[in-house]
């Protein structure tokens, strides 16, 4: 394998993992180009979409090389992004060799997320906080904490089913709404709408929406459109799940839940 292909393979692999873990399009492009340029490969082109990477190097020489990667959208992992950014700076400053960089790249891939109990606690506290922030009472916030914990448990087991993101969001929002209404139905003096509003916040696509706006500002209209559509579809799925349960509860309760 030529040096050009080795460098391009590493740069695209690093960009792939960055994009796969929720990094912005411009960050991926800058990282890939920085690595190529650090190895004196200036005849190169990199085009990144929110779900794909196209890169070529030394096209007019005998070492010409190009790569295309399809990158599915995955949940954001800021820990891996931070680790990859640090690795990119080390490579560009020639602090490590390319073989050492490959080894560190594999380590970055294995950076774990938070453990499951911590995720349950964080989700519960976040849901309770948002419920209180949006006008709920202290009791509403406490119930939202419980609903948030139920949501995290559901998402954990749902991930094993292999369902699409669309189905997962619809089912998760239905679980949230059903649990909140059950607490209301047993006679607790709570506002189930405030509980639902707080509990759906972990599902709200805040990062994709923010990244889409950033892409539009950077004139990456195609990537911005892809992320925006993804965010709007997620919001639509949440609305469908909540709406179905509330409508069903309305019919069962004779309008008592409206």
Q: What is the pLDDT of residues 226-247, one digit of tens each?
A: 889 989 999 999 999 999 999 9
Gap between the Cα atoms of 182 and 170, Å rounded: 18
What 3-state DSSP class applies to 44? Answer: strand
The average pLDDT across 65-83 equals 88
| pTM, full prediction | 0.83
Gap between the Cα atoms of 164 and 185, Å rounded: 31
User: In this predicted structure, what is the pLDDT of residue 204?
Assistant: 92
Phi, psi of 47 (to 5 degrees): -130, 120
pLDDT digits (tens, 9 = 90+) for 128-176: 999 999 999 999 999 999 999 999 999 999 888 878 889 999 999 999 9
């Amino acid at each position: 394998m030529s040096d050009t292909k080795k460098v391009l393979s590493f740069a695209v692999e690093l960009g792939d993992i960055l994009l796969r873990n929720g990094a912005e399009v411009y960050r991926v492009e800058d990282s890939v180009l920085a690595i190529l340029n650090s190895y004196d490969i200036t005849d190169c082109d990199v085009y990144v979409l929110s779900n794909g990477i196209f890169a070529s190097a030394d096209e007019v020489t005998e070492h010409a090389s190009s790569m295309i990667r399809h990158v599915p959208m995955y949940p954001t992992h800021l820990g891996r992004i931070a680790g990859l950014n640090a690795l990119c700076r080390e490579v560009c400053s020639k602090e490590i060799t390319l073989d050492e960089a490959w080894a560190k790249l594999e380590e970055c891939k294995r950076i774990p997320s938070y453990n499951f109990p911590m995720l349950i606690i964080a989700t519960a506290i976040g849901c309770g906080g948002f419920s209180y922030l949006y006008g709920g009472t202290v009791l509403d916030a406490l119930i939202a904490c419980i609903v948030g914990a139920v949501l995290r448990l559901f998402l954990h087991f749902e991930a094993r089913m292999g369902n699409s993101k669309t189905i997962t969001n619809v089912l998760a929002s239905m679980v949230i709404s059903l649990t909140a209404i059950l607490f209301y139905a047993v006679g607790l003096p709570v506002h189930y709408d405030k509980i639902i509003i707080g509990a759906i916040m972990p599902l709200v696509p805040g990062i994709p929406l923010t990244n889409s706006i950033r892409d539009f500002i950077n004139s990456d209209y195609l990537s911005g459109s892809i992320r925006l559509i993804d965010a709007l579809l997620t919001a639509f799925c949440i609305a469908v799940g909540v709406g179905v349960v509330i409508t069903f509860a309305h019919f069962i309760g004779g309008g008592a839940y409206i």
